[in-house]
Structure 1
């Protein structure tokens, strides 16, 4: 079963007028992971698609998506897939990829239909592409690690870069995830902006009663969304994107836009946050 919903782009002036429900309707994404279903959100931020696939007892095939306007979803797109569940298999382009928890798979433009099978919980990210780079399965041992923050500021963390220029080529998709050291809860703080790229976060590995407070908005007028386990949020280019959890968690970040330069950001000073 395939379901697709749409998120239209919201400008910063319009966002200021939104109440909590309005913010959640525009930026928050839940219900992505349901057994026997593929659930996608088609965003108008660089045409990024965010979604989830949970095969359960039968394989699921992702092929035609009306919102893409092509016969098959990857006719003019590339895709990143992160397995946040148990072992599963993804098949595309005539190849089968066995994916353990935490593995990331890159599929290029033209790879054809995508089949999900096994006990995996597959997080799906896709954006338009202009070139067919080689497909690649990237286990965590092949990811680039970046260590940031410190325990004293509660943001000591390790960033794992998978679909990233330092690891492999892609058109515009950049994907990785961030894990926190014991006692640290703040992500992406100090905050920053990158007007040339949108971003999406998926928060997972949260306990049932734990929450992440995701901060967004312009630096001069910040807002927040309360996130549960396996919920995602789309971050427009004009918005900060940082958060703090009530307990341990991991988050997957994905970007699309004008470039793939992970360091192309405008830092926001703490004194400028309101």
Structure 2
């Protein structure tokens, strides 16, 4: 497990492009036949990727950095199928996941494994510290709370699906969903905002090999950006703006952990302030 430390906003101003990527971008979570994980000190989230090959299950190990008897001893976990179809087995119970389905796994689950039905199936893992027990629950994409937002004239019309949220599947900290700009739309998370009480992580996917998404971060007046390819993950500290634009439309998973679970608890930043 790789460990990433928390960052003060003043540090960002002096970082090189390479240093920014090393601190905030994760580009190697998905490797066939492996489970990879990163421990972020931003709200102590663990971010991971599992890409099993058909016929060869993968098991979520108990990483020594957690100082736990098993991975979910003090943690909750969300497993989301970014693409493909497969099975997640939790303490002997099997859950079938297809594209953009999510599985919430509550604190106390001991044995977790991943199986793929087809080549290329990728599961994204996001975990936060939990102080209570909630039941393991499957949230199919078709059952996620779905809304439309944005405006075509601003090229930010998008579909938002909330899988884990305060009015839906219960969790201790995690709030998770998937947003997809509609064809002809490329901006996300507009107007720009922060939510100083929660860290947010983005996973960009459904991106052609020749396309990129430019993700912006930082404080107003001191914006930095990173160029991301399919499957890249970016960690957005609570103090940072987070919004992006693609060379085409795309999908992105967003997951938050922190002080509260209010989706609307954000501080908007006017575009001229960027």
Shorter-chain TM-score bucket reads over 0.9
Q: Secondary structure at the match of 1:195?
A: coil
Q: CA deviation at 1:213?
A: 0.3
Give the drift of 1:51.
1.1
Q: CA offset at residue 168 of structure 1?
A: 1.3
Deviations 1:50-76 (A, max 9, x none): 110011141011131111110111000
Contact 1:155 1:189 (8 Å CA) reproduced: yes
Question: How far apart are 1:142 and its partner, in Å?
Answer: 1.2
Aligned to 1:69: 67
Give the TM-score of the pair, scaled to structure 1.
Answer: 0.97
TM-score normalised per structure 2: 0.97
Q: CA deviation at 1:269?
A: 0.8
Return the alpha-carbon distance in structure 1 between the equivalents of residues 144 and 180 of structure 2.
13
Q: What aligned pairs does 1:14-93 form with structure 2 within 5 A after superposition?
A: 14-57=11-54, 58-93=56-91
In 1, Cα distance between the equivalents of 2:10 and 2:269?
A: 19
2:8 corresponds to: 11
Work out the CA distance in 2 between the residues paired with 1:231 and 1:147. Answer: 25
8 A Cα contact 1:92 1:112, kept in partner = yes
8 Å contact 2:100–2:178 — kept in the other structure? no
Aligned residues: 270
1:138 aligns with 2:139: yes
Please say if residues 88 and 94 of structure 2, whose CA atoms lie closer than 8 Å, have aligned partners that are also in contact: yes
**Alignment check: 8 A CA contact 1:197 1:259 kept:** yes
2:110 aligned residue (93, 109, 112):
112
- State the partner residue of 1:237: 238
Q: Secondary structure at the match of 1:74?
A: helix
SS at match of 2:200: strand
Secondary structure, counterpart of 1:184 in structure 2:
coil
Pairing 1:224-263 to 2, within 5 Å after superposition:
224-263=225-264
Q: CA deviation at 1:93?
A: 2.8
Poorly superposed stretches of 4+, deviation over 4 Å: none
Aligned to 1:95: 93
- Aligned equivalents of 2:77, 2:171: Cα separation in 1: 10
Paired with 1:108 and 1:114, the residues of 2 have a C-alpha distance of 11
**Equivalent-residue separation in structure 2 for 1:10 and 1:90 (angstroms):** 34
Alpha-carbon deviation of 1:34?
A: 0.4
In 2, the alpha carbon distance for the partners of 1:96 and 1:242 equals 36
Aligned-pair CA distance for 1:85: 2.2
